[in-house]
Amino acid sequence: MRIAFFSSKSYDKEYFKKYARNYNHDIIFFETALTEKTANLTEGCEAVCVFVNDKVDKETIAILSKLGVKGILLRCAGYNNIDLEAAKEHHIKVLRVPAYSPEAVAEHSLALIMTLNRKTHKAFNRVRENNFSIEHLVGFNLFEKTVGLIGTGLIGQAFAKIMLGLGCKVIAFDVYENESLKKLGINYLPLDEVFEQADIISLHCPLTPETKYIINKENISKMKDGVMIINTSRGALINTKDVIGGLKSQKIGYLGLDVYEQEEDIFFRDLSESVLKDETISRLMSFPNVLITSHQGFFTKEALGQIATVTLNNATVLENGEVLLNEVL
């Protein structure tokens, strides 16, 4: 199968070339993102491989269909950037990687928590300048703190187990309750009660019409003063304007983000020599209690290998007309 691979980075090429040796696929790598304007690059290809910030809307899908593309291969779990109705209309199959080392994202969530709490990033910069003062670096014990988990899929489950191991009390909200987590002592509560009781709130739910802006002004008002909010899922789970208001009022004491609603024009790019035009993220970064990473929660050797393997296998299954176990329905 000939595959047009969009938004490719050096690590994509490294891992996909490594694992492609076991498959009979011809991959053409493009650094540009897939959009309506770049869709013509897929001419002669039977499938496209896309990531979280590729824009696969109905206009793009119409062009893909005209050029003979039969499959959209997501090298991620989320699919909110795909117009599924348009794909169905044009008989294009959409396949994803439903689980790739959920521990990778869960561990990154912990990294954000620990860094924000113990301020190790600030301590590192101080010591490099021979400043060994620990003034203003005070943190808090995670032991016996209440962690509110929004979403208990595979990543949420991995995160819950980590926090239990640190001696935290874990409460959760999900439309579908997980019995194995209940047996570990995790209590499922209504969403409002999770917001009210949690010292730390970590988001691990997909982006849907129901979850968009689940962190908003109204819900922030229900939270404890000084609450920590962590988001390693999707940027639009958070209403950024409302969160900035919460930071200014000190209702939110800590904010850790690995995703951002307008990240497609910023993340995965080196903008160090450019003027950052996004005033909202610039405002976020001006707060000393905000930590932002560039969608790297998935970024481990194990996860990259799993992403490549599952994506290439999805392509093989599609090409052979076999049962599409990872199809997005």
Does 295 participate in catalysis according to the annotation?
yes
Give 225-238 pLDDT, tens digit per residue.
Answer: 999 999 999 999 99
Pairing of strands 169-173, 187-188: parallel
Q: Record the pTM.
A: 0.90
Q: Which of 52, 55, 53 is nearest to 38 (CA)?
A: 55
pLDDT at 44: 97
204 pLDDT higher than 90: yes
d(Cα 267, Cα 246) in Å, to the nearest integer?
A: 24
Does 136 participate in catalysis according to the annotation?
no
Q: Give whole-number Cα distances, 203 to 37, 231, 316, in Å.
A: 33, 5, 33
Give 26-60 pLDDT, tens digit per residue.
Answer: 999 999 999 999 999 999 999 999 999 899 999 99
Query: Pick the catalytic residue: 46, 96, 108, 263?
Result: 263
Query: Pick the catalytic residue: 46, 96, 234, 261?
Result: 234
Give 258-306 pLDDT, tens digit per residue.
Answer: 999 999 889 999 999 999 999 999 999 999 999 999 999 999 999 999 9
pLDDT at 100: 82
Domains in the chain: ranges and CATH: 2-100+300-320 (3.40.50.720), 102-292 (3.40.50.720)
d(Cα 82, Cα 79) in Å, to the nearest integer?
A: 6
Give 267-279 pLDDT, tens digit per residue.
Answer: 999 999 999 999 9
d(Cα 40, Cα 64) in Å, to the nearest integer?
A: 8
Q: Which two tokens stand for residue 119?
A: 């301020």
Nearest 5°: phi and psi at 30?
Answer: -120, 135
Report the interhelical angle of 120-128 vs 102-118 (nearest 10°): 60
State the DSSP string of 154-205.
HHHHHHHHHHHHTT-EEEEE-SS--HHHHHTTPEE--HHHHHHH-SEEEE--
What kind and span of H or E run contains 148?
A: strand 146-150
What kind and span of H or E run contains 303?
A: helix 301-320
Cβ–Cβ < 8 Å for 219, 195: yes
Provide the terminal-to-terminal Cα distance of the chain, rounded to the nearest Å. Answer: 22
State the DSSP string of 83-106.
-HHHHHHTT-EEE----S-HHHHH
Query: Pick the catalytic residue: 75, 96, 204, 295?
Result: 295
pLDDT at 54: 95
Does 2 participate in catalysis according to the annotation?
no
Cα radius of gyration rounded to whole Å, the chain: 21
